[in-house]
């Protein structure tokens, strides 16, 4: 082969390796930032999205909803973990349908999901409850599931993303402690009320 042909071959191989490296990096980034089961953004992505929203001009008027499936453990116990996993995948699709494509739905672990939207919490709570109202068809079985929802509306705030998620967690715990299948707006008094309920 001539020197020019060899150079062309080396250039072609270099381009191919760069494309492969870029693809591998994109795949790794997706793995790091997304839940492996549902394909939804994970807690890392959620925290970054919320922080970016808080830092952006005019982006602080957002609803944050933490959705926890009630009695999800009993699904795993009765039907097995495969059914539980498939139910989580179906629920994630149902929750994604509740918000616009440019809003966030994240799976933050176990049976908990977070939705962030510029729509009012009250509208989203109703939509989420409607999306989960009918039993899910999983491999020939109809599996009903209810959800508790802790939520808050953000105004102008300099609070950190993790503090906001912690407030949503308090509201969710209150909703579950009150019997589940209900929603609860966060307010500061909930921390004291919840601690009294759990004593």
Q: What is the pLDDT of residue 24?
A: 76
What does the pLDDT read at residue 157?
Answer: 61
What pLDDT is stored for residue 194 in this prediction? 65
CB 177 within 8 A of CB 196: no
Mean pLDDT by groups of 10 residues along the chain of 199 residues: 81 83 74 91 93 68 94 93 96 96 93 95 95 95 95 79 92 92 92 66
CB 38 within 8 A of CB 88: yes
- pLDDT at residue number 159: 78
Residues 3, 11: Cα–Cα separation, whole Å: 12
pTM of the model: 0.84
What are the residues facing 153 on neighbouring strands? 63
Q: Provide the pLDDT for residue 156.
A: 61
pLDDT for the residue numbered 144: 94
Q: What is the pLDDT of residue 197?
A: 63
Residue 195, helix vs strand vs coil: helix
């Amino acid at each position: 082969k001539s020197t020019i042909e060899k150079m062309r071959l080396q250039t072609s191989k270099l381009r191919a390796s760069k494309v492969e490296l870029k693809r591998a990096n994109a795949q790794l980034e997706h793995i790091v930032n997304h839940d492996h089961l549902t394909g939804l953004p994970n807690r890392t992505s959620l925290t970054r999205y919320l922080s970016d929203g808080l830092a952006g001009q005019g982006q602080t008027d957002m609803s944050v909803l933490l959705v926890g499936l009630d009695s999800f453990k009993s699904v795993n116990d009765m039907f097995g973990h495969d059914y539980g996993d498939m139910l989580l995948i179906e629920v994630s699709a149902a929750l994604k349908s509740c918000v616009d494509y440019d809003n966030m739905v994240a799976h933050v672990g176990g049976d908990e999901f977070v939705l962030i939207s510029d729509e009012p919490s009250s509208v989203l709570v109703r939509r989420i409850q409607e999306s989960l109202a009918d039993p899910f068809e999983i491999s020939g079985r109809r599996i009903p599931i209810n959800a508790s929802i802790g939520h808050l509306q953000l105004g102008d705030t300099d609070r950190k993303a993790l503090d906001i998620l912690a407030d949503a967690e308090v509201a969710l715990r209150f909703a579950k402690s009150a019997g589940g299948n209900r929603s609860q707006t966060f307010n500061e008094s909930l921390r004291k009320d919840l601690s009294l309920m759990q004593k």
